[in-house]
Amino acid sequence: MATDKTRAVGVDIGGTGIKAAIVDLQKGTLLSDRVKVATPLGAEPKDVLGAVLEVLEKLGVDDDAIPLGVAFPAIVKSGRTLSAANVSKAWIGFEAEKFFEDGLGRDIHFANDADVAGVAEMRYGAARDADGLIILTTLGTGIGSAMIYNGVLIPNSELGHLQRAKHGKDAEAFAAYSAMEREALSWEQWTERLQWYYSYVEFLFTPDLFIVGGGVSKHGDKFLPLLRLNTPIVAAVHRNNAGIIGAAALALATDEPRVARSATPLESVPGNLPG
């Protein structure tokens, strides 16, 4: 049973890379180097588990003395993954938290990757003390989202899957950072896509603040000033480490964030994403 409550390990599983570090829970800063391995091709459960074991070994935390939080790029409800946009379809309806706990031989806390990044920014970053509706989006392989209203996380918002009517595709296929890389877009060309995306989200939700996370947030100066929105938009203070820090912050069972209670029964949550 993990006892240390001042630090925790955060593992952030993404469509492209799996990143981990030991985190100071008081300050929300990294206490170790950040270790990273590539997400195994196809992202099958057993291969992802193997990669998580590898990052933990690299970190030198292969026992349960330190609490462990794991973030995953899918809808996560009661420990089950309910979608699979950029990972193997085997994750749909999968008892993922139990699978990792059995495979790692220890307790973990398991949540959506963008939601934990939102928690990190709420506790230690750009959304600290901010009231109203804050929408954090991660721009990476896909687009992840965290919605926080007056300090309460509304989990699994999945705003990367808003539909782009013109092309009948998910917004993330058009506007994620991976689209810029895949199509060799210039910053200006990519920003036009972001303009469409953030204007759409702004129209739907009228948020008080947008926060942009993901690896590309370190280049915020290249695209954030070009966006014309009514809502302030800032880079995540913790950049691409927000997922690691948020996963670690959720690792203490006694230290849960205030999460809005969902009235949706598990059975009524769609097993897959539209499109």
- Supply the minimum distance, in Å, between the C-beta of residue 3 and ligand BGC: 31
Tell whether residue 73 is a contact of ligand BGC (CB under 6 A).
Answer: yes
Tell whether residue 213 is a contact of ligand BGC (CB under 6 A).
Answer: no
Tell whether residue 12 is a contact of ligand BGC (CB under 6 A).
Answer: no
Determine whether 201 is exposed, middle or buried from the number of CB atoms within 10 Å of its CB (0-12, 13-18, 19+). Answer: buried
Tell whether residue 138 is a contact of ligand BGC (CB under 6 A).
Answer: yes
Question: Strand pairing partners for 110?
Answer: 70
120-149 burial, b if ≥16 CB within 10 A, otherwise e? bbbbbbbbeebeebbbbbbbbbbbbbbbbb
Residues near 256 by beta carbon (within 8 Å), at least 6 away in sequence:
250
Residues near 55 by beta carbon (within 8 Å), at least 6 away in sequence:
11, 18, 19, 20, 35, 36, 37
Give 40's DSSP letter: P
Instruction: With residue 145 as reference, give the H or E element that holds it.
Output: strand 143-149
Nearer to ligand BGC, 62 or 183 (CB): 183
The span from the CA of 138 to the CA of 43, in Å, is 20
Tell whether residue 85 is a contact of ligand BGC (CB under 6 A).
Answer: yes
Using CB under 6 A, count the residues that bind ligand BGC.
17
Task: Report whether 119 contacts 153 (CB < 8 A).
Answer: yes
Tell whether residue 81 is a contact of ligand BGC (CB under 6 A).
Answer: no
Tell whether residue 74 is a contact of ligand BGC (CB under 6 A).
Answer: yes
- Supply the minimum distance, in Å, between the C-beta of residue 112 and ligand BGC: 5
The span from the CA of 68 to the CA of 109, in Å, is 6
Task: Report whether 73 contacts 39 (CB < 8 A).
Answer: no
Q: Which range binds ligand BGC by CB under 6 A, 51-59, 71-79, 233-241, 250-258?
A: 71-79
Tell whether residue 48 is a contact of ligand BGC (CB under 6 A).
Answer: no
Task: Report whether 197 contacts 175 (CB < 8 A).
Answer: yes
Token digits for 182?
A: 């895949």
Tell whether residue 160 is a contact of ligand BGC (CB under 6 A).
Answer: yes
Tell whether residue 172 is a contact of ligand BGC (CB under 6 A).
Answer: yes
The span from the CA of 45 to the CA of 21, in Å, is 21
Nearer to ligand BGC, 10 or 73 (CB): 73
The span from the CA of 247 to the CA of 157, in Å, is 17
Q: Which range binds ligand BGC by CB under 6 A, 97-105, 110-118, 196-204, 221-229?
A: 110-118
Tell whether residue 113 is a contact of ligand BGC (CB under 6 A).
Answer: yes
The span from the CA of 111 to the CA of 156, in Å, is 9
Binding-site member from 69, 144, 213, 246 for ligand BGC (CB under 6 A)? 144
- Supply the minimum distance, in Å, between the C-beta of residue 30 and ligand BGC: 20
Nearer to ligand BGC, 112 or 217 (CB): 112
Tell whether residue 180 is a contact of ligand BGC (CB under 6 A).
Answer: no
- Supply the minimum distance, in Å, between the C-beta of residue 74 and ligand BGC: 5
Nearer to ligand BGC, 60 or 275 (CB): 275
* Contact residues: ligand BGC, CB under 6 A: 14-15, 73-75, 83, 85-86, 112-114, 138, 142, 144, 158, 160, 172
